[in-house]
Amino acid sequence: MSYPQKHPLRPLTKQEEQALSRIAKASSERVDTVRRAKALLAVHAGEPFAVAARQSGFKSADSVRKSSPAL
């Protein structure tokens, strides 16, 4: 089921974006942390939750939707 993005991700600062990029590329980070960073970067780039989920390895857009507001 697809959910509309009612509350878009707040704008990331340059420092936050750089930190998420480092985490997304790190091979020593936990897999769940890397997936979340990739999903947040995808949503920040304007991708819908479903696309962000596919790109980051989540099974559903709902996983991205639930994790996005926590940042």
Residue partners of 63: CB distance under 8 A and separation at least 6: 39, 53
Confidence of residue 4 (pLDDT cuts 50, 70, 90): low
* Mean per-residue pLDDT of the chain: 84
- What is the per-residue pLDDT across 43-66, written as a single tens digit (0 to 9) for each? 999 898 889 999 999 888 887 777
Instruction: State the pLDDT confidence band at 9, using cuts at 50, 70 and 90.
Output: confident
Predicted confidence at residue 8, as pLDDT, reads: 66
Show Cβ contacts of residue 32 under 8 Å, excluding neighbours closer than 6 positions: none
